[in-house]
Amino acid sequence: MRFTLLIILSAIPLLGIIVDNARAAGTESEGAVYVIPAHQTVQSGLASFLDRAMTEAEDAKASLIVLDIDTPGGRLDTAEEIGKRIRSATVPTVAFVSGKAASAGAYLALNAGDIAMAPGTTIGAAMIVDGAGNAVENPKLVSFWSEEMAAAAQINGRDPAIAVGMVDPNRVVEMKEIGETKEKGQIISLSAEKALKVGYSEKMAKTAEEVIAWKGLSDRTVIALNPSFAERVSAAVTSPGFGTLLLIIGIAGIAIEFLVPGFGVPGIIGLISFGLYFFGQSIAGFAGMESLVVFLIGIGLLVLEVFIPSFGVLGILGIAAVVFGITMGAYDKGNALQSLGIAILVAAVIVGVFVYIFRKRGIWNRFILNEQLTTDKGFVPQQSREKWIGQEGMTTSMLRPSGMADFGEQRLDVITSGEFIEKGRRIRVISVDGTRILVKEI
């Protein structure tokens, strides 16, 4: 009895250790922490990657999503799309500003549940600018984006006036926490220290691991998701300007290969460029197989137009199909049309220069007779018959009104002006028109 009691008492600490280990194991298996980087321009490629990564974290029932933000900004419409996706996430989110969250990047950060910033980083400077970096002064657009920023700030109890001051240079904003006032003509950009004081971040952390520790999840598995190779290609292809460049190369390459055949390389490069364009749009979730099929049909119709007379019908249908295929596979139809127009103009100049340089090899040479019918190539020229004018001969057959006649030792085909002449009558040549020898009876 005593021995049994001794065994039980000795086993109690061991049972405690087993229970603690089981609890620890259970804690570690309860949802990993997903670290998702946003280290590129805010555009459609980034939106596609973030949606895929956040969906993966939600499906895995993650404990936390850490959005590692370092971006100079980008497209506002894409930022709205990403912001909506962050707000709708079923997993808690923290925006960790590891570099800068400027312009559209600030909007992404404001939509997260919490914001942590690394020392030396900034958030703000969300003024709307055009492609050249110049401020856009459209009051309606500025007002709309200001309200979007303010709404994102209010979601998590942040001062909306500061968010508006990041966008509108004409708004005066007083920030009592740091003893500063934004005057007209300025926009707000907060350092990590100032953002913490005014409530635009909740934590200063040097690394994502510190952010995870701050959330009390250091014991969880950390999964770092990075863009796949296809997503990196898609991000490059869908970035501003690059898609237009691919269209230029594609149009020029195909046109050069078609007009000046025999090279091969321009055609291959053109096909690769179009392939990359549709591949990038497809990975980003915009272009489907139908847009590629329509585009290829358009190219086929343009080729047929050259060889099959259709009075322009095939050409018009081909151009329409190409334009429709490219635009239906793009994120922004208007922007795609603009890019296509620029690409056509630039490609036309490139093709024109290339065709001029290699004009002797052009396809048009197949439709032009350049062969010279010279004697050195075996061709015998037609001898002039002017010498027969005035010559006299004898008909060897009846002329009705044409027939045969002998002129000395040479027999010729002759013809009258309509009258019949019997065989064996004397005739005289009165005119010659090409191979036609006109005679009259003497």
> pLDDT tens digits, residue range 56-86?
999 999 999 999 999 988 888 889 999 999 9
DSSP state of 198: T
DSSP state of 199: T
Q: What is the DSSP string of 394-414?
A: EESS-BSSEEEEEETTEEEEE
Determine which of 188-192, 290-294, 397-401, 420-424 has the lowest per-residue pLDDT on average.
Answer: 290-294
Reference 252, options 322, 350, 324; nearest CA is 350
Whether 334 has a pLDDT exceeding 70, the answer reads no
> 261: cis peptide before it, omega within 30°?
no
Domain boundaries, the chain: 30-227, 232-359, 384-441
Q: How confident is the model at residue 253 (pLDDT cuts 50, 70, 90)?
A: confident
CATH architecture assigned to 384-441: Beta Barrel (2.40)
User: Can you tell me the distance from the alpha carbon of 222 to that of 64, in angstroms, rounded to the nearest whole number?
Assistant: 10
- Which residue type, as a one-letter code, is found at position 219? D
The share of the chain scoring above pLDDT 70, in percent, equals 79
pLDDT of residue 433: 82
User: Can you tell me the distance from the alpha carbon of 299 to that of 295, in angstroms, rounded to the nearest whole number?
Assistant: 6
Task: Give me 363's structure tokens.
Answer: 């396809």
Topology annotation, domain 30-227: 2-enoyl-CoA Hydratase; Chain A, domain 1 (3.90.226)
User: Can you tell me the distance from the alpha carbon of 261 to that of 68, in angstroms, rounded to the nearest whole number?
Assistant: 50
User: What are the CB-based long-range contacts (under 8 Å, 24+) for 330-338?
Assistant: 330/243, 330/281, 330/286, 330/287, 331/44, 331/78, 331/238, 331/281, 331/284, 331/286, 332/77, 336/243
The residue-averaged pLDDT of 169-193 equals 92
Q: Are 60 and 29 in contact (CB under 8 A)?
A: no
0.75 cut: is pTM over it?
no
* Mean pLDDT score of the chain: 80
Q: Are 167 and 145 in contact (CB under 8 A)?
A: yes
Q: Are 89 and 65 in contact (CB under 8 A)?
A: yes
For the ranges 25-34, 368-377, 388-397, the one whose mean pLDDT is highest: 388-397
> pLDDT tens digits, residue range 20-60?
443 333 444 358 999 999 998 888 778 888 999 999 999 99
Q: What is the DSSP string of 214-251?
A: HTT-TTSPEEE----HHHHHHHHHTSTTHHHHHHHHHH
Could you give phi then psi for residue 21, rounded to 5 degrees? Answer: -65, -40
The residue-averaged pLDDT of 378-396 equals 75
Determine which of 20-24, 88-92, 134-138, 223-227 has the lowest per-residue pLDDT on average.
Answer: 20-24
> pLDDT tens digits, residue range 255-303?
777 777 655 688 788 888 887 877 776 665 555 567 778 777 877 787 7
pLDDT of residue 22: 38
The three state secondary structure string of 25-65 is: HHHHHCCCEEEEEECCCECHHHHHHHHHHHHHHHHCCCCEE
Determine which of 18-22, 65-69, 85-89, 125-129 has the lowest per-residue pLDDT on average.
Answer: 18-22
Whether 3 has a pLDDT exceeding 50, the answer reads no
The residue-averaged pLDDT of 414-419 equals 89
Determine which of 34-43, 61-70, 87-96, 237-246 has the lowest per-residue pLDDT on average.
Answer: 237-246
Determine which of 245-249, 338-342, 387-391, 437-441 has the lowest per-residue pLDDT on average.
Answer: 338-342
Q: What is the dihedral of CA 139, 142, 143, 144, to 10 degrees?
A: 120
Which one is predicted more confidently, 131 or 342?
Answer: 342
Which one is predicted more confidently, 58 or 361?
Answer: 58
Orientation of helix 265-283 relative to helix 229-237, angle to 10°: 100
Q: Are 272 and 265 in contact (CB under 8 A)?
A: no
Q: How confident is the model at residue 308 (pLDDT cuts 50, 70, 90)?
A: confident
Which one is predicted more confidently, 47 or 365?
Answer: 47
User: Can you tell me the distance from the alpha carbon of 106 to that of 148, in angstroms, rounded to the nearest whole number?
Assistant: 11
- Which residue type, as a one-letter code, is found at position 333? K
Q: How confident is the model at residue 19 (pLDDT cuts 50, 70, 90)?
A: very low
pLDDT of residue 100: 92
pLDDT of residue 382: 58
User: Can you tell me the distance from the alpha carbon of 214 to that of 47, in angstroms, rounded to the nearest whole number?
Assistant: 27
pLDDT of residue 241: 75
pLDDT of residue 194: 95
Q: How confident is the model at residue 124 (pLDDT cuts 50, 70, 90)?
A: very high
Task: Give me 437's structure tokens.
Answer: 């020898």
